[in-house]
Structures are given as structure tokens and as C-alpha cells.
Chains A and B, each alone.
Chain A
Amino acid sequence: AQTVTQSQPEMSVQEAETVTLSCTYDTSENNYYLFWYKQPPSRQMILVIRQEAYKQQNATENRFSVNFQKAAKSFSLKISDSQLGDTAMYFCAFCPVAGGGNKLTFGTGTQLKVEL
């Protein structure tokens, strides 16, 4: 079974600054996907970024980028030029390529607050 750990329950950052959210996971799988989801106060889950484990290059989506360290089983999210709209709960998630259902395993989340 896979586990996903987010060790930072809460974080805050000043507007326009950069913040990094941590995520580690444990798995015996070699082929999998990793995701970061954002859940704003509306509670809608929004996909932020994904990373395929077979790719060495770190994924980027505009102001969002990841630092994927496969050997260390680490998958951190960096948000550059933080904006007030980035205030949300952020969840890291793991999904194996093999296995029935392609189920996501989520971490417990990090509440990010962007301040003026």
C-alpha cells in the first residue's frame, strides 16, 4: 500500500513571494504519477500539476513547479509570485500506473495562506 505524507499542516507567505510545500511518499511501485491538487474555500478540487515518475524533468505550469526526487520519494510544490488567490488547501496525491481502478492516495493537506 502507498502512503503520502505532508508534514506542514499550515504555511503562510507574503504576496509576490515564493513558497515551497513538501510531500513525501512511500511505495514499492516503479511506475506512477504524482499530483498536486488545490482546494480553495469553495472546496472545489482543482488539479494544479502532475508528474510522471518516468520523466526526469520536473513539471512546470506557469507559476507552479515541482521538485521531483524519485530516489528520495519526494515531490515538493513551488509557487512563485504568490497571489491572494493561491490561498487554499493543497493536497499531494499518488497514483500507480498498474493496479485496478487507478486509485489516488492523498496526503492530509497543507493549508496555505497568502498575506498582503
Chain B
Amino acid sequence: SQTIHQWPATLVQPVGSPLSLECTVEGTSNPNLYWYRQAAGRGLQLLFYSVGIGQISSEVPQNLSASRPQDRQFILSSKKLLLSDSGFYLCAWRRGVINEQFFGPGTRLTVL
């Protein structure tokens, strides 16, 4: 069966510091991968998606970036965090032709 992992689960970072969030998927190959952000009390905003290694599409211009160095690894990064980057970050993968997306447990990021 497929599983998706995210770490860390919780992160508190000062403004201006770098960021690296990691997402890995097990039990599948060549998945579509997605990064979402959820602000407090709001829906999910798609940040990036990837259809393959090294292929990244950005949905929202911001100071975040994403990379996919391996087939089942998706990384969200920032060189300098802003207060507005605080939120809950979710990684997801897409299964087959049905377009269902399955989500990881998320990372709660607080920027102080």
C-alpha cells in the first residue's frame, strides 16, 4: 500500500531564516506530487505541483520554491521566511487516472 510522509511535523522559525520541508511517498512510482498551504480557518491553496523529477510548476508567486530531486521526494524551500509564510503545509500525491489526491499528515509552520 502507498504511504506519504512529511517532516518535520512542527516547526518554529524566525523571520529571515531558511526553510526546508520534505515529503516522500512510498509504494508507488512516478506520482504527481503537490504542495498546499492552509492558512488558519481557511481552505487549501495549491503552491506547487510536479509531474516528474525536476519538473515543477508554480501556482502562486512568492518567496517559496519547490524541488523534486527523486521520483518520490518533493521538497518545499525558502531562502528567507516571512511572517506571512506561517501556516499548515500539506503534501499530496495523485493516484492513477481517477485524479484522487492523498495527503500527508502536514507540517505546522510558525514564523516569529
**Contacts from A to B (Cβ < 8 Å):** 33, 35, 37, 42-47, 50, 91, 95, 97, 100-109
Which single member of B44, B57, B106 contacts A101 (CB below 8 Å)?
A: B57
Task: Count contacts between A and B, CB distance < 8 Å.
Answer: 55
One of B15-23, B68-76, B77-85, B94-102 contacting the partner: B94-102
User: What is the CB-to-nearest-CB distance from B105 to chain A, in angstroms, rounded to a whole number?
Assistant: 6
- B99 engages A102 (CB within 8 Å): yes
User: What is the CB-to-nearest-CB distance from A54 to chain B, in angstroms, rounded to a whole number?
Assistant: 12
Q: B7 an interface residue at 8 Å Cβ cutoff?
A: no
Contact A43:B106 (CB < 8 A) given known A33-B98, A103-B49, A103-B59: yes
**In terms of DSSP, what is the predominant structure of the interface of chain A?**
loop
Which single member of A50, A101, A103 contacts B100 (CB below 8 Å)?
A: A50
- A104 engages B101 (CB within 8 Å): yes
**In terms of DSSP, what is the predominant structure of the interface of chain B?**
strand
Q: B51 an interface residue at 8 Å Cβ cutoff?
A: yes
- CB contact list, B46-76 vs A, under 8 A: 46, 49, 51, 57, 59
Bound Cα distance from A109 to B44, whole angstroms: 9
Which single member of A44, A97, A103, A109 contacts B43 (CB below 8 Å)?
A: A109
